[in-house]
Amino acid sequence: MTLRVWKFGGSSLATPDHIAAVSERIKDRRKHGDDIVVVASAMGTTTDHLAALADSVNPTAPARELDMVLSTGEMVAAPLLAMALHRIDVGAVAFTGAQAGITTTASHQVARITDVRPTRIQQELADGNVVVVAGFQGATETAEITTLGRGGSDTTAVALGVALHASEVEIFTDVDGVYSADPRVVSSASTIDEITYEEMLEFATVGARVMHARAVEIGDQYQIPIRVRSSFSDTPGTLICGNRTMETNQKVRGIAHNTDVAKVTVLGVPDRPGVAAAVFGPLGKHQINVDIIVQNVSHDGATDLSFTVKESDLGKAQAVLEEAARTVGARGVDTNRKVASVSVIGSGIQGTPGVFARIFETLASNNVNIEMISTSEIHVTCIVGEGQAIGAVRALHDAFELDRV
């Protein structure tokens, strides 16, 4: 018997009618004799509403209490789906994250799964029931309620897939799969049939928020196949797995872009050891992630240090950096919100002749000015002016013939 873990996002469970449609889909699959564990996200925009409510009570609320509030969205959606299954005569039981045996660290808001003890799930499956688990949440060893960060239901699904030895984890969402570029920007963008974990991670971290990055990491670590597909159609979607089985000469998989980017430059930084640590240490301490870092050539013992942060983190970053700049004796801090990142993604592109050249020729012939560059085995990311990002994505999608995927 095949065990499937299915995860449904908030848009797939937004109303009682949506929930009924999902329950019918589950019933259909049950006819094939498969065991099914479903991970439910909160209905529609529930989590946003809960976060706004908490913010209105206390904008600097303790993370522990915030987790209690935020976790309730899934604690409503999961039993509702179980009820909908009962209504169409499918035996079903709902579990909170804690009841499902999902144990986490005590890092509220960003807890990590340390263990999954799926005893109760396995019992219910053995009794012939569908099990519906509240996503996005777990509990510490001392029964504190934790959440896994936004999008954490994907991580719940993949972790359960691993613990239950599922044959595949399916992430049902409101898009048809992973696209070769944002279809709102590139009308000829197509869904990708297969993609590696590493490639998917790039898409997840560089703006195409189809899946929670940590879910992909766990999938990679345990080599469990993950399929991203639409709740609203039967198309097969995108399979995320270890090795692409398709042709290997197509190195570039897609173009991702992200406008939630700001560029920061610390001006006139003394060029001596320990300065970078003095700048980036405090950012890390305030949970501000730095992405691309560029250090200019030193002049007269001082240099400019540029890097990108999330635009939404900029306010927090600025205060931290002005303090750090004073500490190291830098001249000041300059910021630019009007930038975006454009990434070309594909396994092994760094080792493929001609890819780099084509990227830069394409951008140049479209008059796109590159402010910063970062490359890895799997991506080339360029920071460009915000107004040029969409043109750059379209030109690159065209240059790499991605509509023919």
Least CB distance to its own copies at residue 161 (A): 23
Q: How many angstroms from the chain centroid is the CA of residue 154? A: 9
Distance CA 133, CA 39 (A): 5
Q: CA separation (Å) from 151 to 78, 138, 213, 361, 393?
A: 16, 14, 9, 36, 25
Least CB distance to its own copies at residue 15 (A): 9
Site for its own copies in 221-240 (CB under 8 A): none
Distance CA 220, CA 197 (A): 6
Site for its own copies in 11-30 (CB under 8 A): 16, 19-20
Does 294 help bind its own copies (rule: CB under 8 A)? no
Among 62, 242, 301, 332, binds its own copies (CB under 8 A): 62
Residue 331 backbone phi and psi in degrees, to 5: -80, -30
Nearer to its own copies, 95 or 179 (CB): 95
Least CB distance to its own copies at residue 16 (A): 5
User: Which of 144, 152, 137 is CA-nearest to residue 65?
Assistant: 144
Least CB distance to its own copies at residue 212 (A): 23
Does 119 help bind its own copies (rule: CB under 8 A)? no
Q: Are 248 and 342 in contact (CB under 8 A)?
A: no
Strands in 113-116's sheet, in edge-to-edge order, are: 113-116, 102-104, 137-139, 145-147
Name residue 124's amino acid: E
Residue for token pair 């043109």: 391
CA atoms within 13 A on the CB side of 180: 24
Nearer to its own copies, 53 or 319 (CB): 53
Q: Are 258 and 382 in contact (CB under 8 A)?
A: no
Site for its own copies in 144-183 (CB under 8 A): 144-145
Does 44 help bind its own copies (rule: CB under 8 A)? no
Site for its own copies in 67-106 (CB under 8 A): 68-69, 71-72, 75-76, 78-80, 82-84, 86-87, 93-94, 96, 98-99
Nearer to its own copies, 94 or 256 (CB): 94
Which residues are 240's β-sheet partners? 195, 226
Among 126, 143, 297, 357, binds its own copies (CB under 8 A): 143
Does 56 help bind its own copies (rule: CB under 8 A)? yes
**Residues in binding contact with its own copies, number by CB under 8 A:** 37
Which residues are 373's β-sheet partners? 382
Among 3, 11, 29, 50, binds its own copies (CB under 8 A): 50
Distance CA 381, CA 383 (A): 7
Least CB distance to its own copies at residue 143 (A): 6
Residue 149 backbone phi and psi in degrees, to 5: 90, 155
Residue 198 backbone phi and psi in degrees, to 5: -65, -45
Least CB distance to its own copies at residue 112 (A): 21
Does 110 help bind its own copies (rule: CB under 8 A)? no
Least CB distance to its own copies at residue 140 (A): 11
Which residues lie near its own copies (CB under 8 A)? Answer: 16, 19-20, 50, 53-54, 56-58, 60-62, 64-66, 68-69, 71-72, 75-76, 78-80, 82-84, 86-87, 93-94, 96, 98-99, 143-145
